[in-house]
Amino acid sequence: MTSASGATKLWGGRFSGETDPLMEAFNESIHFDRRMYAADIRGSQAYAKALCKQGILTADEQQALDSGLTAVLAEWQAGTFELRSGDEDIHTANERRLGELVGSVAGKLHTGRSRNDQVATDMRLWLRDEVNALLGFLRELVGALVHRAEADIDVLMPGYTHLQRAQPIRWSHFLLSYAFWFQQDAQRLEQFLPRVAQLPLGSGALAGNPFQVDREWLAQELGFSSVTPNSLYGTSDRDFVAEFLFHCSLTMIHISRLAEDLIIYSTAEFGFVQLADAYSTGSSLMPQKKNPDSLELLRGKSGRVFGDMSGFMMTYKGLPSTYNKDMQEDKEPMFDAVDTLTGSLQITTAVIATLKVNAGKMKQSLTGDMLATDLAEYLVRKGVPFRQTHHISGAAVKMAEDRGCQISDLSVADLKTLHEAFEDDVLLVWNFEKSVDNRSSIGGTSRVTVQGQIEHLKLWLN
């Protein structure tokens, strides 16, 4: 079987006609799977050693293949590898070039191996390295959030529910909430790694390897923690792609939520933060504008990664066992998710590190009504049941609204009309710093507990 250009196909012995050029282009994947060149070569070098252990290759043949594959790798790394017509995927391209370098012995490399177990191995090798890189970027982001939280620990701000001012919190407490989300994202990826590190190589096309290659030795050679226990599963499993895309989607959701908060806080109406010029743009029409484009792109790219996941899942859901050509669609969403998340994590880290915080504007946004819960808690400490104190505090809020003043402007006499338990020490309630530091249980927003959160994350980072 030859292509329209005359190149012989690896799988062409069964066929006598030429491939339609349109079908040839439709079928090839080299334009995107070429990025797995190093993983493909690494797997082939290990497989050659395994064949040598079984006597399929002589030591000289194995060495020739190893040297040839190293030369192919060097060409890719130097950017001098020349693709040829008929290089439909990275496996074909590498094997074709290997044959040009070492001759007919290259034809022995594929003994007992299929592109079905080869591509599954390449993907796992490639993804394992990328996950480790992503873990590094996640740790850098958590580190940036922890550093800002420690530096800005004295800054108070309104905490929000339903986008309505709720209670005073520390700005650091807000930052650390995202640090813990990203820590969880990292921990999920760490827990995911053993499921990536299952070796499919040695499964053959679907039924297993007939030359008794030592798969456990191969796993050790390639740094895998286990081998896939069933050859049908080994060649057709792409759960690791689906799971990875979910992890990426969830991390991007956390990035998107942080971006949304910072977009809101950077508006003139809030004015809590200001993005560095490096991560903002202007308007083509309105010269006064400073747009948070970096944050808006981060928010938008979360949808892109979720689309990668949902698109792949639609492809994956209806496949019969084992390998089907539909699985060629498993790589581009994986590659895109890696690229998008890698860039997003780095941009988010830079935005956090360079963000300017307007502590004065945050403090000005703290209003007396945000201490209404503290007023109820004051009565609780006087022995009044909370359900009653909540109602009484609400009545105090209504009284202040009716008078057009802040709840903190009400006199002790005014409050006594609502309940006799109010005494002169109620005036001590109107203190935002005290309110924040009262929240001193684990996870609270007091200085002590926030510092504890910082130390917890520092310990994890170290």
The DSSP result for 324-385, as a single string, is: -GGGGGGHHHHHHHHHHHHHHHHHHHHHHHHPEE-HHHHHHT--GGGGHHHHHHHHHHTT--
Cα angle vertex 243, ends 239, 249, to 5°? Answer: 145
Catalytic residue among 16, 162, 284, 441: 162
pLDDT value at residue 157? 98
Per the structure block, which two tokens stand in for 230?
């069933």
With bands split at pLDDT 50, 70 and 90, how would you rate the model's confidence at 11?
A: very low
pLDDT value at residue 358? 97
User: What is the chain's length?
Assistant: 462
- β-bridge pairing 164-170 and 156-161: antiparallel
Residues β-bridged to residue 158: 168
Residue 57 DSSP symbol? S
Catalytic residue among 67, 85, 225, 283: 283
Cα angle vertex 414, ends 412, 415, to 5°? Answer: 65
pTM of the complete model:
0.92
Q: For the stretch 307-325, what's the b/e string if a residue is b when 16 or more beta carbons lie within 10 angstroms of its beta carbon?
A: ebbeebeebbeeeeebbee
Q: What mean pLDDT value characterizes the chain?
A: 94
Section 399-405 average pLDDT:
94
pLDDT value at residue 287? 57
Q: Which residue in 374, 404, 368, 367 sits closest to 392, CA to CA?
A: 374
Q: Is 81 helix (H, G, I), strand (E, B) or coil?
A: coil
- β-bridge pairing 164-170 and 198-199: unpaired
Section 236-246 average pLDDT:
98
Distances (CA, A) of 282 to 39, 292, 397: 43, 9, 42
Section 383-405 average pLDDT:
94
Does a cis peptide bond (omega within 30 degrees of 0) precede residue 281? no
Q: Above pLDDT 90, what percent of the chain?
A: 90
| Location of structure tokens 């004295």 | 154
Q: Give the C-alpha separation, 365 to 342, whole Å.
A: 36
With bands split at pLDDT 50, 70 and 90, how would you rate the model's confidence at 51?
A: very high
pLDDT tens digit string along 74-90? 999 999 999 998 899 99
Q: Is 162 a catalytic residue?
A: yes
- CB 158, CB 370: distance < 8 Å: yes
pLDDT at 462 over 50: yes
Report which residue type is found at 17: G
Per the structure block, which two tokens stand in for 90?
């990275």
pLDDT value at residue 275? 94
Q: Is 91 a catalytic residue?
A: no
pLDDT value at residue 9? 55
Section 153-164 average pLDDT:
97
Section 436-447 average pLDDT:
97
Tell me the domains of the chain and their CATH numbers.
12-111 (1.10.275.10), 116-364 (1.20.200.10), 368-461 (1.10.40.30)
pLDDT value at residue 26? 85
| Location of structure tokens 């001098």 | 80
pLDDT value at residue 392? 95
pLDDT value at residue 25? 82
pLDDT at 16 over 80: no
Q: Give the C-alpha separation, 440 to 453, whole Å.
A: 12
Q: Which residue in 54, 38, 39, 37 sits closest to 217, CA to CA?
A: 54
pLDDT at 2 over 60: no
CB count in 10 Å sphere of residue 398: 12
Q: Is 222 helix (H, G, I), strand (E, B) or coil?
A: coil
3-state helix, strand, coil in the chain (%, to 5): 65, 5, 30
